[in-house]
Chains A and B, each alone.
Chain A
Amino acid sequence: MAEKIELQKVEVWDGNYAASHALRQAQVDVVAAYPITPSTPIVENYGQFVADGYIDGEFVMVESEHAAMSGCVGAAASGGRVATATSSQGFALMVEVLYQASGMRLPIVLNVVNRALASPLNVRGDHSDMYLGRDSGWIQMDAFNAQEAYDMNLCAFRVGEHMDIRLPVMVHQDGFITSHTAQNVNPLSDEEAYKFVGVYNPVEEMLDFSRPVTYGAQTEEDWHYEHKARQHKALMDARPVIESVFAEFQKVSGRQYKRVETYMTEDAEVIIVALGTTVESARVAAKQLREEEGIKAGVVAPRVLRPFPFDAIRDALQNCKAIGAMDRSSPGGALGMLFNEVSAAMYTTSARPVMSNYIYGLGGRDLSINAIKDIYRELQENATAGEITTPVQQFISLRGPKLSFFETRRS
């Protein structure tokens, strides 16, 4: 039995350290991993826990991220708890196996410490890798700070391993801003955390030879569609499971999470929808603007990106007048993902608030509170005019001439 660690009531951890403690407390059976900035410390910290006798599972350092996820798939099919971590290019290299993991319905937890995708090569945080994973069939949960990186990891095991779901789960945090910034974190004790996560429940395991299983079969046009449809159903069915896991987590931790987090949205006329650390910046900006300029600003943030919280997003936004969807990923010739998906949700309402799209922070470009305030002021103009007053998509905090795209024909 692995040694326990007596944690303080409040620890000073960065997001990476918080995530690695959560993996340790979940008593993961196999971690197969390959280090990459900025997620490397998760793997390093875990390796130190192994070296110090705090882990009794296997720690397999493989030769690439593709192999890391391949090893995780082989391990997960063998009936135990599995987790790993990656970022950016490593995530991109894993993509083939991400689809295979979800297609085989294996509840692996993958920490994705968000970072830009080359080229140009960049180690800083943006959401390119998170967006790349959004059709991979994984549940995606987003942590906005170190505390949440810890909490979401514990919840991720419960959600993915739930007997009605059995799907892999990504836990996202922003590279460097969350992963390398030390903050106060309130952990559960080792006993409480493991009690919450629970004993792993094997399903269709390769090491039960009384009932041989075949993993990764071939299906063509006769059965492939049915498999993918059921996989999508499992993702959609995860919504109430996530809510019940969050409710249970609140009982043990006192911290409340929802599939969509809202801030000052009750009477808000203008709302920013964002992910990651931007959520906390936007909350600061919204509060200040309410006090300083009387703008009724609010913030809506998907805690769960997949399954996309279509219903909860709509509920959170239906009474506002103008929405700014902020995408921290190069949109590649289209509108940003958040813009498109939030717009789809809002199109099903009778009010249909004015939607606009802000691209920002690529490659770790800083986003200031003032820049967010400018967005709110533009949103306020849209709200007052009842129509969009700018091009639909704008790149903000960009060097050189202003860049904007997609004109509206609304008026």
Chain B
Amino acid sequence: MAITSVKNLKEFSTANERFEGAHLLCPGCAHSMIVRELMNCSDDNLVIAANTGCLEVSTAVYPYTAWDTSWIHIGFENAATAASGAEAMYKARKRKGTLKNPDAPVKFVAFGGDGSTYDIGFQWLNGAVERGHDFTYICLDNEVYANTGGQRSSSTPIGSSSTTAPAGRVSYGEKQNKKDMMSIMAASGAKYVAQVSPNKWKNMAQVFQKSLATEGPCYINAISACCTEWKFDPKDTIHISDLATDSLVFPLYEIVDGHELNINYRPKNIIPVRDYLGSQGRFKHLFKPQFEHVLNEWQTRVDAQWDYLQRREAARV
């Protein structure tokens, strides 16, 4: 049975075994925590679509599957469209009376990594949201093409070293700021958008339940700490996630109906951004004297964003 109220992590973590443990994700990968939580927080039948990426290649290697629910992968870019096709078929067959179990509630969920969400699948996601399909898209955002060995995406943050934007003698690595998918999806017509992080599991479950209950397209940006590419010890995934949310590098907030912004988590003790950056090998080079300015710019940018989010929330526009 899925949870009805979010109280006990142990009970919650075993609530609904629809995502089996026998997958090939790295030890310490946050993807499985996020996926399990999504599947545990609902009793509804789920049709899951996945873009090509870590989750997909690790969970459906023939002749095995980790998915004890309907699941489809087509290509790198089109999980949102697969979900919209499935949702359209559900509506058609419900109308025509050809469903085997017409009364059981069905929810449609698409997963993509940040590469397939921010970059190559951006148009497909945007089109599906614009059309207003009743589905939830969850971006497992590890800020890099992790499945293929750590190439930069448009989610990769400034100063991160990746294989295609490496730090070197004269470069501090990534030069572009992380794309603001939250604003883009809110402006594209998503009924509900939110950022979640697995360390704040109660909030994550509430956001998932809210998105599944919302009629129309929803977008969830889930930060998914990647021990392999961010370069930290696999046992520290939740610790790193704590640093991300408590430094406000990854603020947890939601936007309802494209405008109503609510902050879902306010850290009691805000920690310096450099503590978050210093915890991962991908930012190690920023602590050399010549790149000190990047660290300072990071803190300024995070402060400004937090100020903006608070003012947006207070304005109730």
Residues on A facing B (Cβ under 8 Å):
29-30, 32, 56-58, 60-64, 66-67, 70-80, 82, 96-97, 100, 200, 202, 205-210, 212-219, 223, 227
B82: nearest chain-A partner, CB-CB: A74
B75 touches A78 (CB 8 A): no
* Chain B residues, CB < 8 A from A62: 81, 84, 127, 131
* Chain A residues, CB < 8 A from B101: 208-210
A74 touches B85 (CB 8 A): yes
- Of the listed stretches B58-66, B176-184, B206-214, B234-242, chain A binds B58-66
Query: Distance (Å) between the CB of A245 and the closest chain B CB?
Result: 23
Q: What are 25 of the A-B contact pairs (CB < 8 Å)?
A: A30-B89, A30-B92, A32-B84, A57-B92, A60-B85, A62-B127, A67-B81, A74-B72, A74-B74, A77-B72, A79-B89, A79-B93, A200-B98, A206-B71, A207-B86, A207-B89, A207-B106, A208-B100, A210-B100, A214-B72, A215-B71, A216-B60, A216-B74, A218-B56, A219-B61
Find A71's partner among B62, B69, B81, B93 (CB 8 Å cutoff): B81
Q: Given A207-B89, A208-B100, A214 and B78 touching (CB < 8 A)?
A: no
Check: B299 CB closer than 8 A to any chain A CB.
no
B106 touches A67 (CB 8 A): no
A217 touches B90 (CB 8 A): no
CA distance A60 to B104 in the complex (A): 24
**Closest 8 interchain pairs by CB?**
A74-B85, A63-B127, A74-B82, A216-B73, A78-B89, A71-B85, A70-B78, A206-B70
Check: B57 CB closer than 8 A to any chain A CB.
yes
Query: Distance (Å) between the CB of B70 and the closest chain A CB?
Result: 4
Interface size class of B (residues with CB under 8 A): 35 or more
Find B86's partner among A64, A67, A206 (CB 8 Å cutoff): A206
Find A75's partner among B68, B86, B99 (CB 8 Å cutoff): B86
Q: Which of A32, A74, A227 has the most CB of B within 10 A?
A: A74
B91 touches A58 (CB 8 A): yes
Find A212's partner among B70, B93, B95 (CB 8 Å cutoff): B70
Query: Distance (Å) between the CB of B110 and the closest chain A CB?
Result: 10
Q: Given A74-B74, A97-B74, A100-B75, A64 and B123 touching (CB < 8 A)?
A: yes
B88 touches A30 (CB 8 A): yes
Check: B126 CB closer than 8 A to any chain A CB.
yes
B85 touches A56 (CB 8 A): no
Check: B96 CB closer than 8 A to any chain A CB.
yes
* Chain B residues, CB < 8 A from A215: 71-73
Contact with A along B179-211 (1 / 0, CB 8 A): 000000000000000000000000000000000
Contact with A along B126-150 (1 / 0, CB 8 A): 1100110000000000000000000
A212 touches B56 (CB 8 A): no
A214 touches B60 (CB 8 A): yes
Q: Which of B63, B72, B106, B126 has the most CB of A within 10 A?
A: B72
Query: Distance (Å) between the CB of B255 and the closest chain A CB?
Result: 23
Find B82's partner among A70, A202, A210, A223 (CB 8 Å cutoff): A70
Q: Given A56-B96, A80-B98, A217-B61, A70 and B89 touching (CB < 8 A)?
A: no
Check: B47 CB closer than 8 A to any chain A CB.
yes
Check: B49 CB closer than 8 A to any chain A CB.
yes
| 13 extra A-B contacts, CB within 8 A, seeds A67-B81, A73-B74, A74-B86 | A30-B85, A56-B92, A58-B89, A58-B91, A67-B124, A70-B78, A70-B85, A76-B89, A207-B106, A209-B69, A209-B70, A217-B73, A223-B62
Query: Distance (Å) between the CB of B43 and the closest chain A CB?
Result: 11
Find A100's partner among B74, B85, B88 (CB 8 Å cutoff): B74
Query: Distance (Å) between the CB of B66 and the closest chain A CB?
Result: 9
CA distance A200 to B93 in the complex (A): 11
Check: B45 CB closer than 8 A to any chain A CB.
yes
Query: Distance (Å) between the CB of B226 and the closest chain A CB?
Result: 20
CA distance A78 to B84 in the complex (A): 11
* Chain B residues, CB < 8 A from A227: 62
Query: Distance (Å) between the CB of A229 and the closest chain B CB?
Result: 14
Check: B250 CB closer than 8 A to any chain A CB.
no
A58 touches B92 (CB 8 A): yes
CA distance A88 to B99 in the complex (A): 36
Check: B167 CB closer than 8 A to any chain A CB.
no
CA distance A80 to B98 in the complex (A): 9
A70 touches B74 (CB 8 A): yes
* Chain B residues, CB < 8 A from A71: 81-82, 84-85, 88
Find A218's partner among B62, B75, B93, B96 (CB 8 Å cutoff): B62
B73: nearest chain-A partner, CB-CB: A216
Query: Distance (Å) between the CB of A204 and the closest chain B CB?
Result: 10
Find B47's partner among A60, A64, A78 (CB 8 Å cutoff): A78
CA distance A72 to B86 in the complex (A): 9
* Chain A residues, CB < 8 A from B47: 78, 206-207
Check: B67 CB closer than 8 A to any chain A CB.
yes
CA distance A73 to B73 in the complex (A): 10
* Chain A residues, CB < 8 A from B62: 217-219, 223, 227
Q: Given A70-B81, A96-B75, A218-B61, A78 and B90 touching (CB < 8 A)?
A: yes
* Chain A residues, CB < 8 A from B49: 74
Check: B83 CB closer than 8 A to any chain A CB.
yes
B70 touches A213 (CB 8 A): yes
CA distance A60 to B100 in the complex (A): 23
A209 touches B45 (CB 8 A): yes
* Chain B residues, CB < 8 A from A75: 85-86, 88-89
A29 touches B100 (CB 8 A): no
B89 touches A74 (CB 8 A): yes
* Chain A residues, CB < 8 A from B82: 70-71, 73-74, 77
